Amino acid sequence: MSDKSPTQRREQFRAILDGDLCVHPASVFDPISARIAEDLGFELAFMAGSTASATVLGAPDLVVLTLTEFAEQIRRICRAANISLVVDADHGYGNALNVKRTVEELETAGLAGLTIEDTVLPQSFGKAKGEELISLEEGVGKMKAALTGRQDPSLVIIARTGALRIEGVDGATRRAKAYEQAGVDALWLAGGVTREGVSALHAAVRLPILMGGGGGDLTDEFLTANGVRVAHQGHLPLAGAVKGIYDTLKALRDGKAPTELQGNVASAELMGQLTRREDYDRWTSEYLN
């Protein structure tokens, strides 16, 4: 269904990273949500491990999703929509060798970029999730392995670090410099993001910065001036979709007639647009009649 090659979509993402604006990506989780983002004109889509776990497994964000399941969801999205997709590949599903395999599998699925993080995952016995970082040396090894696994040089490899939250500005700066030297294309700041931290990392490395959060004193103007090219705004689309489904099913279960709910659901026209009904009608006419 998509008519842009994976390389074209990767080059579009690289243009954002090389640009001078801070972009807010659409949080997507399946083909329909990616189509909506594309039709609304979003420049970029992002899928996290948390939203993939919720939609594929109905599970919380505890890294119980497998690489195969994650890759298949990415493949479905990239097949359905032309938007550039970036994903959170967590810790790469194991050690550095697993990271290399993860990059190979996810690149084949068609995405534009992926993050590999330096958090200890899955959660260690006796520790809270997200409380520990792997050593700097292991983190560098994972980034090098990710780059080795890449076949298309336009695929964007992003080092994701939680060091601002756990090690402070000095630790985050040390890791950012090491990951830059390893050759990654960009840096994702995960948690603990402040103006001081963003400014310090922008001064320390030449990498474009991606991050979650924003708002407050982290204005778009500040982020743009400090090298932030992508600022994720959370996963409200999935939460909104879940509430819509829940409320609709509850209303039906409580005895409301379907006709009473028509004003609160997608119209037939919108469903036709998002499922590309005109294309299928044309193909049916051409190939089946």
94-122 confidence digits (pLDDT tens): 999 999 999 999 999 999 999 999 999 99
Give the pLDDT score at 216.
Answer: 81
Summarised one tens digit per residue, pLDDT across range 153-184 is 999 999 999 999 999 999 999 999 999 999 99
CA distance 156 to 32: 24
β-bridge mates for residue 27, sequence order: 46
Q: For residue 204, what are its two tokens?
A: 């320390």
Reply yes or no on whether the pLDDT at 2 is more than 70. no
Q: pLDDT tens for residues 40-88?
A: 999 999 999 999 999 999 999 999 999 999 999 999 999 999 999 999 9
CATH node for 6-234: 3.20.20.60
- Position 168, amino acid: G
The reported pLDDT for the residue numbered 135 is 98
- What residues have CB less than 8 Å from 216, skipping those under 6 apart? none
Which residue in 274, 13, 57 sits closest to 152, CA to CA? 13
For residue range 169-225, what is the model confidence (pLDDT) as tens digits?
Answer: 999 999 999 999 999 999 999 989 999 999 999 999 999 999 987 668 999 999 999
Helix (H, G, I), strand (E, B) or coil at 68: helix
CA gap 116, 89 in Å, rounded:
6
| Token pair recorded at residue 215 | 């708002």
Distance CA 177, CA 173 (A): 6
Decide if 26 contacts 45 (C-beta within 8 A).
Answer: yes
The secondary structure of residue 135, as a DSSP letter, is -
CA 76, 2, 87, 214 torsion-angle sign: negative
Whole-number pLDDT of residue 214:
67
Taking the domains of the chain in order of start, what are their residue ranges?
Answer: 6-234, 241-288
> Which parts of the chain fold into alpha helices (H)?
6-18, 31-39, 49-57, 67-80, 96-109, 136-149, 163-166, 168-182, 195-204, 220-225, 236-253, 268-274, 277-288
pLDDT at 23 over 80: yes
- Number of residues assigned to the chain: 289
pLDDT score of 21? 96
Identify which of 42, 43, 111, 40 has the alpha carbon closest to the alpha carbon of residue 73. Answer: 111
Q: What is the pLDDT of residue 1?
A: 59
Average pLDDT, the chain: 96
Asked whether the beta carbons of 234 and 27 are under 8 A apart, the reply is: yes
133 closest CA partner among 160, 166, 157: 166
Does the pLDDT value for residue 130 go beyond 90? no
Query: Which strand ranges, in their side-by-side order, compose the sheet holding 228-232?
Result: 26-27, 44-47, 84-88, 113-117, 156-161, 186-189, 209-212, 228-232
